[in-house]
Structure 1
Amino acid sequence: MQYDITLTIEYSYDGASDHARNLLHLLPLHVPGVQDVTASLLTVDPMPQERWDGPDFFGNIATWVSHLEAIDAITMSLKTKVNRRSSPLGMDISAGLATLGSDIDAIQSLAPDAPHHFLGRSPRVAPAAEMTEFARQQIIEGMSTLSAVQAIGRALHDYLDFDAAATDVDTPAAEAFAHRHGVCQDFSHIMIACLRGIGIPAGYVSGFLRTVPPPGQKRMEGADAMHAWVRAWCGTDMGWIEYDPTNAIMVEDDHIIVAYGRDYSDVSPVRGVMRSSGGHDTKHYVDVLPVD
């Protein structure tokens, strides 16, 4: 599936900043055999005095920008063309859940996608007895790792309510789980905590999701949003798979990958520091358009 994607993020500040630095994860990722990026243009207005584009530790395309002069607003605009291939799951060749630890121990590497990075605590995901117990309740003796991932994802989809007003970007996963609501970021963080709690390496994927309008209605431009889902390591033979707990589906060609990380803190679209006063306002616009 080919897509034309546009994204605009606008920030406006009550008080002008005399200095601002931002780290952006907005450019889609080239994933061999899965996703090709045929064209991308990321602009920042006003133009920063310093800019550098390059890979981060996990291989994502990161953009560092610095404004050394006073600004009271900033706009990041992305235009990109992506070819996202369908990747059917095929046979379950994942490790048995009981033997997954042996597969992990056999990996003698700390490369960016090594499972060891995705097993323990990370900045936004901490072990929690309640979530670990929830995950254990979904396990059947003799279950494969893939089956466990799917069972936990489906159970969380049924257990949690999607509520865009219930949480914000800083809400801890344990709090969202306790109140049983949240958005895609919360669903993903909760599922990551559940999987890690029972020994399955799990990470966070940031990206875009093509949305389909109700029958008989026109597609609304700018109605899409950035999305998040989960990747889980299912053993040496199967490797990484991706699951969307917000929608209780395996990830397919409706999902466009931007960045991989341990949790949101590794791949947040915009993260930075600035010196200013007063509050600020932000607006996001996303359009994911399939190309015939």
Structure 2
Amino acid sequence: MLYDVSLTIDYSYDAASDRTRNILRLLPSDIPGVQTVWQRLLTVHPRPQERRDGRDFFLNETSMVAWHRPIDALKLQLTARIERFEPAPIFDFSPPLDELHHELLMVPSLAPEAPHHFIAASPRVALSGAITEYAWECLNEGVTALGAVEAVGRALNRDMAFDPEATDVDTPPEEAFEKRHGVCQDFAHVMIAALRGIGIPAGYVSGFLRTFPPPGQPRLEGADAMHAWVRAWVGNQLGWIEFDPTNNQFAGTDYITIGYGRDYEDVAPVRGVMRTSGGHETSQAVDVLPIEEGAA
């Protein structure tokens, strides 16, 4: 499936900033077997006095930008054409959950894709006794690693409510789990904590999700959104699989990946420092438009 993707993020500051520096993780990249990026462009206004594009440890595309003069607004615009491939059917060749740690010990690599980076606590996801206990209660005896991922993801979708007012970007997963409310970031963080607690390496995926209007309703511009879901390592044969607990499904052709990390901290779209006073306002608009629809 071919998509034209556009993203606009606007910031306005109460007072002009002095010496602003940001790292942006907004550029999609090729992922073999998952997606191909045919075109991409990230524009920054006002034009930064420094810009350096590269990759971080997890091979996510990064853009480091800086201004050495005051700015009172910032606009980030991404346009891209991306082909997302149909995922192969998932057949459960994963080991029983209680044998997964043996396969984990057989992985000799500490490369970015290695599951060892995703089994312990990370900056935004602590191991939680309450979340781990919940995860074990979701499982049947003799469950496979893949079956455990699916069982935990579907249980969280059932037991947590999507509520954009309940949390913010800094809410810890323990709080979102206690409230049983949150947004996609919270669903992902809670699921990551749950899977790690039962011995399954798990990480965070940042990207876009194509959404569909209600039957009979027109598609609204800007109705799509940046999204988060979970990847989990389920053994040497299947490797990494991706599940979206917010929408109770494995990631498919409606998902476009921007970056992978241990949690949100590793893939935050915009992160940086600035010297200013007062607050700021921000807005975001996303369109994920199939090419066939865009050409009509």
Superposition TM-score, scaled by structure 2 size: 0.98
Partner of 1:189, secondary structure, is: helix
* Counterpart residue number, 2:209: 209
Partner of 2:185, secondary structure, is: helix
Matches within 5 A, 1:72-221: 72-221=72-221
CA distance in 1, matches of 2:65, 2:214: 40
* Counterpart residue number, 2:279: 279
* Counterpart residue number, 2:228: 228
CA distance in 2, matches of 1:288, 1:136: 37
Note the alpha carbon deviations across 1:257-280, whole angstroms, 9 max, x for none.
Answer: 000000000000100100000110
Shift of 1:28: 1.1
Shift of 1:141: 1.6
Query: Is residue 67 of structure 1 aligned with residue 67 of structure 2?
Result: yes
Partner of 1:285, secondary structure, is: strand
| Amino acid paired to 1:78 | L
CA distance in 1, matches of 2:246, 2:14: 35
CA distance in 1, matches of 2:230, 2:57: 18
CA distance in 1, matches of 2:182, 2:86: 29
Shift of 1:91: 1.4
Contact 1:207 1:256 in 2 (8 A): yes
* Counterpart residue number, 2:37: 37
CA distance in 1, matches of 2:267, 2:210: 20
CA distance in 2, matches of 1:128, 1:90: 30
CA distance in 1, matches of 2:66, 2:12: 16
Partner of 2:4, secondary structure, is: strand
* Counterpart residue number, 1:16: 16
CA distance in 2, matches of 1:90, 1:152: 17
CA distance in 2, matches of 1:279, 1:143: 50
Contact 1:88 1:252 in 2 (8 A): no
Shift of 1:34: 1.1
| Amino acid paired to 2:152 | I
Unaligned runs of 5+ in 2: none
Shift of 1:97: 0.5
- Percent same amino acid among aligned pairs? 59
CA distance in 1, matches of 2:116, 2:223: 37
Shift of 1:219: 0.3
Partner of 1:64, secondary structure, is: strand
Q: How many residue pairs are counted as aligned between the two chains?
A: 292
* Counterpart residue number, 2:244: 244
Shift of 1:58: 0.3
CA distance in 2, matches of 1:115, 1:88: 21
- Give the stretch that moved more between structures: 133-142 or 244-253: 133-142
Partner of 2:99, secondary structure, is: helix
| Amino acid paired to 1:97 | L
CA distance in 2, matches of 1:18, 1:288: 35
CA distance in 2, matches of 1:110, 1:132: 26
Partner of 1:18, secondary structure, is: strand
Shift of 1:89: 2.9
CA distance in 2, matches of 1:91, 1:157: 22
Unaligned runs of 5+ in 1: none
| Amino acid paired to 2:233 | W
